[in-house]
Structure 1
Amino acid sequence: MSTCPAPVRPLDASTAEELTIAAAKLLADHGSATSPELLAALPEASARLAETLGHALRPVDTADGLFVLRGLHLDDSEIGPTPAHWSTVGDSGALWDVVLLLVSALMGTPIAWDGQQDGRFVHNIVPSPGHENEQTGASSDVLLTPHTEDAFHPGRAHLLLLACMRNHDDIATTAASIRLTRLADEDVEELGRSVVPILPDDAYELARQFAGPPAPVPTLFDSGEGLTLRFDPAYTPREEADEAWRAAYGRLEDELARVSVAVSLRPGDVLVVDNDLVVHGRVPFQARYDGTDRWLKRASVRVEDRPTRPSAERGEHGYGQAALTAWAA
Structure 2
Amino acid sequence: MKNVLRERENHHREAPAELERRILATADAIAVRDLADEIAVTIEDMAGTRERTAATLTDPRLIGLLDARVRAVPERVRVALRPPATATGVAIIDRLPLHDTELGPTPGDWRQAAAWSGERDRRSTSFRLDVTMLLLARCAGEPFGWQGQQSGRLVNNIVPAPGHEHEQSGASSVALLSPHTEDAFHPDRAHLLLLGCLRNPDAVGTTVSSVREATLSTAHRHRLADATLPILPDVSYGDGFDDHPTPPIATLAAGPTLRYDPAYTPLDRADAEFRDAYTQLSAELERVARTAVLEPGQLLLVDNDVVVHGRVPFAPRYDGTDRWLKRVNIRLPQRNRAESGESGYGQRTVAPFRGETLVPQVVPNQ
TM-score tier by shorter-chain length is over 0.9
Q: CA deviation at 1:250?
A: 0.5
Q: Deviations over 1:254-313 (max 9, x none)?
A: 000000000000000110000001000000000010111100001000001314x32xx2
- Cα 1:107–1:211 shift into 2, 3 Å: farther
The reply on whether 1:23 has 2:49 as its aligned counterpart is no
Q: Percent identity?
A: 45
Residue among 240, 243, 254 paired with 2:269: 240
Q: Distance in 2 between matches of 1:17 and 1:290?
A: 30
Paired position in structure 1 for 2:253 = 221
Separation in 2, partners of 1:188, 1:53: 37
Query: Does the CA contact (< 8 Å) of 1:166 and 1:294 recur in 2?
Result: yes
Look up the equivalent residue of 1:38 and give its one-letter code: L
Q: Give 1:314 shift.
A: 2.7
Q: Name the aligned partner's letter for residue 217 of structure 1.
A: I
Shift of 1:131: 0.3
1:52 is displaced (CA, Å) by: 4.0
For 2:359, the equivalent position in structure 1 comes to: none
Deviations 1:126-164 (A, max 9, x none): 001100000000000110000000000000000011100
TM-score, structure 1 normalization: 0.94
Provide the residue aligned with 1:325 in structure 2. Answer: 350
Stretches of 4+ aligned residues off by more than 6 angstroms: none
Query: Equivalent residue of 2:250, what SS?
Result: coil
Does the C-alpha gap of structure 1 residues 262 and 318 become closer, same or farther in structure 2, counting only changes over 3 Å?
closer
Match of 2:107 among 65, 83, 106: 83
State the match for 1:67 in structure 2: 91
Judged with a 3 Å threshold, the aligned counterparts in structure 2 of structure 1 residues 267 and 241 are, in CA distance, closer, same or farther, namely: same
8 Å CA contact 2:24–2:76 kept in 1: the answer is no
Q: TM-score normalized by structure 2?
A: 0.84
- 55-64 vs 101-110, greater mean Cα deviation: 55-64
- Separation in structure 2 between the aligned mates of residue 274 and residue 302 of structure 1, nearest angstrom: 11
Q: Tell me the distance in 2 between the aligned counterparts of 1:64 and 1:288.
A: 32
| Structure 2 residue aligned with 1:278 | 307
Q: Mark the runs of 5 or more structure 1 residues left unpaired by the alignment.
A: none
RMSD: 1.6
What secondary structure sits across from 2:79 in the alignment? Answer: coil
Partner of 2:16: 4
Listed one character per residue, the Cα deviations across residues 28-67 of structure 1 (whole Å, up to 9, x for unaligned) are 0112552502123211111222634232122221101010
Q: Which residue of 1 aligns with 2:361?
A: none
Q: What are the Cα deviations for residues 95-149 of structure 1, in whole angstroms up to 9, with x where unaligned?
A: 2111110111010000110011111000000001100000000000110000000
- Out of 103, 106, 110, which is 2:139 matched to? 106
Change (3 A) 1:27 1:210: farther
1:78, distance to aligned residue in structure 2 (A):
1.0
Alignment of 1:104-253 (within 5 A): 104-205=137-238, 207-208=239-240, 212-223=244-255, 227-253=256-282
Q: Secondary structure at the match of 2:249?
A: coil
Relative distance call for 1:88 and 1:136 in structure 2 (3 A) is same
Q: Is the 8 A contact 2:146 2:349 kept in 1?
A: yes
> 8 Å contact 2:95–2:299 — kept in the other structure?
no
Any conservation in 2 of the 1:215–1:318 contact (CA below 8 Å)?
Answer: no
Partner of 2:364 in structure 1? none
- How many angstroms apart in 2 are the aligned matches of 1:35 and 1:178? 34
Q: Secondary structure at the match of 2:33?
A: helix
C-alpha distance in structure 1 between counterparts of 2:156 and 2:190, whole Å: 14
The CA deviation at 1:235 is 0.2
